[in-house]
Amino acid sequence: MTDQAIENQLREILKVQGKVAVAAAAIGPDDDLYGLGLSSLATVNVMLEIEARFDIAFPDDALTRATFQTLGGLAALVRRQLGAAAAA
């Protein structure tokens, strides 16, 4: 899966599950997702949808506000977890 495909899916998840206040296509890799309206409760829904969509699990040490702060951070985590799953 390409980096762009991962980011596009994450944008869709953030729009639907995260209820961010901008169009999905307008979410930049370094935008503060909490500043765009992501709440703590919505973060849980975003995490669950990411796990289901990409068939990955969030490691315990990634369950921090910083992980969910930006699209770029989420994309990096998804790429790491997909790589770990492929190597297993």
Domain boundaries, the chain: 3-87
The CATH number of the domain covering residues in 3-87: 1.10.1200.10
Residue 31 CB contacts under 8 Å (≥ 6 apart), including other chains: 70, 71
Distance between CA 78 and CA 3 in Å, rounded? 10
Q: For 51-88, what is each residue's pLDDT tens digit?
A: 999 999 999 999 999 999 999 999 999 999 999 878 87
Calculate the alpha carbon distances from 6 to 1, 27, 40, 41 in Å.
7, 13, 22, 23
Q: For 7-43, what is each residue's pLDDT tens digit?
A: 999 999 999 999 999 999 999 999 999 999 999 999 9
Residue 79 CB contacts under 8 Å (≥ 6 apart), including other chains: 3, 6
Distance between CA 62 and CA 60 in Å, rounded? 5
